[in-house]
Amino acid sequence: MVSFISFILVLGILVFVHEFGHYITAKIVGIRVEEFALGFGPKLFGKKYGETMYSLRIIPFGGFCQMTGENPPDDKMSEEERLSYEEARKEGRTFPQKSPLQRFAVILNGAMMNFLLAILIFALIFAIYGIAVESVDSNIIGDVALGTPAAEAGLKIGDKIIAIEGQAIEKWGDISGIISNAEGQPLEVKFIRNNQEYTTTVVPRYEPAYGYAMIGIAPETIREKTGFFQSLRLGFLQTVNLLWFTITAIVKMITGKLTVDVGGPIMIATMVNQATGLGWASLLNLTAVLSLNLGFFNLLPFPALDGGRLIFIIYEMIRGKPVDQEKESLVHVIGLVILMILMVFVFIRDIARFL
């Protein structure tokens, strides 16, 4: 139950921050916002303040900021919607009536808010936990990477490994020496947690980037405290480095140099579950990584995504006049259908991954 609540909270925060970026920018440039919603599907709760409806919907995977005039008016509009549209149009407050630069800012700032959130969370982690300056050669786990064999086997930060396959472990070198040459071999690991001895089985996985097998653990480290401005600088650098890593990983996937491995809601929920068990540092770190990924993937130049909408605005800036709104809407609808089909495949892949 705790893990489920953590998953909903993490997802809710990421979606809220993203949509708030669209919302606040729209308000600043004078666009009328019809509804600010978390989730999709039927409303669980809705309250209108001023001209905007704020709602919570039953399906928690997403949200939206509905601005007047985003979609061309048609016969399916209710009388209330039509009156609202006409009123906003007369006041020059519909989305299409704003300049290309203003609309560009409205669309872009959803992702930018996600990037900002990632920077602030990483900065918070550095401010609380400091920066690692030296590894300790002990048999105590200092960190566990999410989605790795160690996390899947239930190992946690602070566990003291005392034996692997019957071999006594006294220092970190003993652990890495056994694991690095045991790709695909189930290893019995004995460890102490809260003064009690436990046993688990872990299967090392070969990591091409390192050239040997790993299970996803790191030794304890000596950490130094960081000041406010240093934490912000480190948070920014961490975000930039992860963004560059994401870009290079996608390029490698496209060129076939890296296996395509995409996860959906089930995989994310599993990682949140693992992070919750590992502690606040892991949960905060995962939230920052997910926020960065949400911002980045929304900027990909694909119809229905923010990046696809930005392409149309850039084309309008170059051409000097906008694309027909009905034609653009049709392109985005087609893109949305393709995305939904891809999500179904990702969901099926997620289920198969955990069977």
Q: What is the CATH number of the domain that holds 220?
A: 2.30.42.10
* Integer Cα distance of 89 and 95 in angstroms: 9
Q: What is the pLDDT of residue 132?
A: 82
- What total of structural domains would you count in the chain? 2
Q: What is the pLDDT of residue 2?
A: 62
Q: What is the pLDDT of residue 260?
A: 62
* Integer Cα distance of 29 and 91 in angstroms: 13
Examine residue 180 and state whether it is found in any structural domain, yes or no.
yes
User: Are 205 and 183 contacting, i.e. CB atoms less than 8 angstroms apart?
Assistant: yes
Examine residue 296 and state whether it is found in any structural domain, yes or no.
yes
* Integer Cα distance of 270 and 4 in angstroms: 10
Do residues 124 and 233 both lie within one domain?
yes
Q: Is 34 a catalytic residue?
A: no
The domain boundary residue, chosen from 173, 204, 224: 224
User: Are 57 and 43 contacting, i.e. CB atoms less than 8 angstroms apart?
Assistant: yes
Which long-range CB contacts under 8 A does 186-195 form with residues at least 24 apart? 188/164, 189/153, 189/155, 189/161, 189/163, 189/164, 190/161, 190/162, 190/163, 190/164, 191/155, 191/159, 191/160, 191/161, 191/162, 192/159, 192/160, 192/162, 193/156, 193/158, 193/159, 193/160
Q: What is the pLDDT of residue 104?
A: 97
Examine residue 71 and state whether it is found in any structural domain, yes or no.
no
Q: What is the pLDDT of residue 290?
A: 94
pLDDT 10s digit of each residue in the chain, 355 long? 566 788 888 989 999 999 999 999 999 999 999 999 998 888 888 999 989 999 999 888 789 999 998 877 777 777 777 888 888 899 999 999 999 999 999 999 999 999 999 999 999 999 999 888 878 888 999 999 888 899 989 999 999 999 999 899 989 988 888 898 888 899 999 999 999 999 999 999 888 767 788 999 999 888 888 999 999 999 999 999 999 988 988 888 788 776 666 667 777 878 888 888 788 888 999 999 999 999 999 999 998 899 999 999 999 999 988 888 888 888 988 988 998 898 888 878 777 766 6
Do residues 216 and 138 both lie within one domain?
yes
Do residues 337 and 249 both lie within one domain?
yes
Which one of the listed residues 19, 34, 220, 328 is annotated catalytic? 19
* Integer Cα distance of 247 and 245 in angstroms: 6
Do residues 116 and 140 both lie within one domain?
no
Do residues 237 and 175 both lie within one domain?
no
Examine residue 42 and state whether it is found in any structural domain, yes or no.
no
The domain boundary residue, chosen from 224, 259, 294: 224
User: Are 53 and 36 contacting, i.e. CB atoms less than 8 angstroms apart?
Assistant: yes
Name beta bridge partners: 197.
Answer: 192
SS (H, E, C) the chain: CHHHHHHHHHHHHHHHHHHHHHHHHHHHHCCCEEEEEEEEEEEEEEEEECCEEEEEEEEEEEEEEEECCCCCCCCCCCHHHHHHHHHHHHCCCCHHHCCHHHHHHHHHHHHHHHHHHHHHHHHHHHHHHCEEEEECCCCEEEEECCCCHHHHCCCCCCCEEEEECCEECCCHHHHHHHHCCCCCCCEEEEEEECCEEEEEEECCEEECCCCEEECCEEECEEEECCCHHHHHHHHHHHHHHHHHHHHHHHHHHHCCCCCCCCCCHHHHHHHHHHHHHHCHHHHHHHHHHHHHHHHHHHCCCCCCCHHHHHHHHHHHHHHCCCCCHHHHHHHHHHHHHHHHHHHHHHHHHHHHHCC
Do residues 306 and 254 both lie within one domain?
yes
Do residues 208 and 218 both lie within one domain?
yes
Q: Tell me which residue range forms the domain holding 320.
A: 99-130+227-355
Do residues 168 and 317 both lie within one domain?
no
